[in-house]
A and B are shown apart, each in its own frame.
Chain A
Amino acid sequence: MHTTEPIVTGASVLGIQCVDGVVLGCDTLASYGSLARFQRVRRIVQPGADWVLGGGGEYSDLQEVARLLETMVTREYCQEDGVVRAPRAVHRYLARVMYQRRSRLDPLFNSLVLAGRGRFLGVVDMYGTAFESHVVATGFGSLLALPLLRKAWRPDMRMEEGAACVEHCLRVLFYRDCRALSSVQLARVPAEGAIEVSEPYELGELQWHVAQTVA
Chain B
Amino acid sequence: MDRPLSHSSFLPPLFSSAPHPLSPPHSVPHPSAAPSVNAAERPARWSPYQDNGGTVVALAGRDYAIVAADTRFSVSFSIPTREFTKITQLTDRVVLASAGMGADRQYLHKMLHTRLAMYRHQHQRDMSLPAAAQMLSNTLYSRRFFPIYAFNVLGGIDSATGEGFVYGYDAIGSHEQLKVVCSGSGQAIVQPVLDQQFSGRQRYSVPDAERAPSLTLEQATALVRDAFASATERDIHTGDALEMWQITAAGVRQTRYELRKD
Query: Please, how many residues of chain B have a CB less than 8 angstroms from a CB on the other chain?
Result: 27
Residues in chain B within 8 A of chain A (CB atoms): 24-26, 28-32, 43, 45-46, 48, 50, 52, 73, 75, 78, 80-81, 83-84, 101-103, 106-107, 146
From B24, B52, B73, B103, residue with most partner A Cβ within 10 Å: B103
25 intermolecular pairs with C-beta atoms under 8 Å apart: A4-B45, A4-B46, A5-B28, A5-B43, A5-B46, A9-B26, A33-B32, A99-B107, A102-B48, A105-B46, A105-B48, A127-B48, A128-B107, A129-B102, A130-B103, A131-B81, A131-B83, A133-B81, A133-B83, A139-B25, A140-B24, A142-B25, A146-B80, A178-B26, A179-B26
CA distance A177 to B24 in the complex (A): 11
Is A107 part of the binding interface, using a Cβ–Cβ cutoff of 8 Å?
yes
**Neighbouring B residues of A34 by C-beta, 8 Å:** 28, 30
Known: A125-B103, A143-B25. 9 other contacts (CB 8 A): A7-B28, A7-B31, A103-B146, A105-B46, A129-B103, A130-B103, A131-B102, A140-B24, A142-B75
CB of B78, distance to nearest CB on chain A (Å): 5
Is A95 part of the binding interface, using a Cβ–Cβ cutoff of 8 Å?
yes
B103 A102 Cβ-Cβ under 8 A: yes
**Neighbouring B residues of A99 by C-beta, 8 Å:** 103, 106-107
Instruction: Scan A145-168; emit 1 where CB is below 8 A from any B CB, else 0.
Output: 010000000000000000000000
CA distance A176 to B80 in the complex (A): 20
A142 B26 Cβ-Cβ under 8 A: no
B25 A32 Cβ-Cβ under 8 A: no
CB of A146, distance to nearest CB on chain B (Å): 7
CA distance A158 to B32 in the complex (A): 46
A127 B26 Cβ-Cβ under 8 A: no
**Neighbouring A residues of B146 by C-beta, 8 Å:** 103
CA distance A105 to B45 in the complex (A): 11
Residue on A nearest B49 in the bound complex, by CB: A127
Q: Which of A31-47 contact B (CB under 8 A)?
A: 31-34
Is A123 part of the binding interface, using a Cβ–Cβ cutoff of 8 Å?
yes
From B24, B26, B75, B83, residue with most partner A Cβ within 10 Å: B26
Residue on B nearest A105 in the bound complex, by CB: B48
**Neighbouring B residues of A95 by C-beta, 8 Å:** 103, 106
Once A95-B106, A99-B103 are accepted as A-B contacts, the answer to whether A140 and B25 lie under 8 Å apart by CB is yes
The 9 A-B residue pairs with the shortest CB-CB distance, nearest first, are A128-B103, A129-B102, A33-B30, A129-B103, A127-B103, A133-B81, A33-B31, A4-B46, A102-B48
CA distance A179 to B26 in the complex (A): 8
Is A200 part of the binding interface, using a Cβ–Cβ cutoff of 8 Å?
no
Is A118 part of the binding interface, using a Cβ–Cβ cutoff of 8 Å?
no
CB of B168, distance to nearest CB on chain A (Å): 24
CA distance A177 to B25 in the complex (A): 10
**Neighbouring B residues of A33 by C-beta, 8 Å:** 28-32
**Neighbouring B residues of A11 by C-beta, 8 Å:** 26
